[in-house]
Amino acid sequence: MPLLYRQVGTQGIARLCGEKGEDAIMPGDPVIFISCGIFKEEIEYLSREHKFPHRVIFLDAALHVNFDRLRASLVDALEKNRAEGAVIKVLYGHCHPDILDILDRYGAKKLAAGNCLEAFVGRDEVARLNNEAVSFFLSAGWVNNWEQMFDAGKKDLHIDFKSMFEHYKRILVFDTGVIPIDEMKVHKFSEFTGLPVERRVITLDHFLELINSL
């Protein structure tokens, strides 16, 4: 199927900025964030813009394809950081069926979003876009790492990801402009799924609002 990759919408776009860095550590900050690695580029951008002045620990974005590994890594991070006496805030969606119970045991709070796509634009916007055409939503970080994530799922759980896309009409990518999208990976994903890929240009305003409300 030929690739269809077009831009949808006219919202403002954040600018590309800098290279990847290590976990940000702000001395004396009583708050520690534990984040899915899928948000790494966006969080580092917000930090450079002085909009996120906190320590953040990133967990591997591919963990969500294996609930046991996700639980173990999240609990390990929670245990280590509770010992520091910090307030723990978690940048995850509902990526594990027991995530609320896990976080409650550590007095930690998470984003008010079901997944990373809702974190970027909100549940209502995801529903509206899905009503236009049944959509498989991706962030730019997801697009650039989809092969790694799918490989992890196949290795751990023997998942046939190709069968997941039978009922979808399109792939919709949320593009903040923070992460340069690898157009070759977009093309390969379109070929893999047999679906056209569209792009929705967004800002980080909703994401930052959710973070600040924690």
Radius of gyration from C-alpha coordinates of the chain: 17
The total domain count for the chain is 2
Q: Are residues 98 and 124 in the same domain?
A: no
Using an 8 Å Cβ cutoff, are 8 and 36 in contact? no
Q: Are residues 102 and 130 in the same domain?
A: no
Q: Are residues 109 and 125 in the same domain?
A: no
Higher local confidence (pLDDT), 22 or 140: 140
Q: What is the pLDDT of residue 211?
A: 97
Report the residue count for the chain: 214
- Pairing relation of β-strands 109-110 and 31-36? unpaired
pLDDT in tens, 30-40: 899 999 999 99
Please classify residue 189 by burial: count the beta carbons closer than 10 Å to its beta carbon, then call 0-12 exposed, 13-18 middle and 19+ buried: buried
pLDDT in tens, 68-86: 999 999 999 999 988 777 8
144: domain range? 5-12+117-203
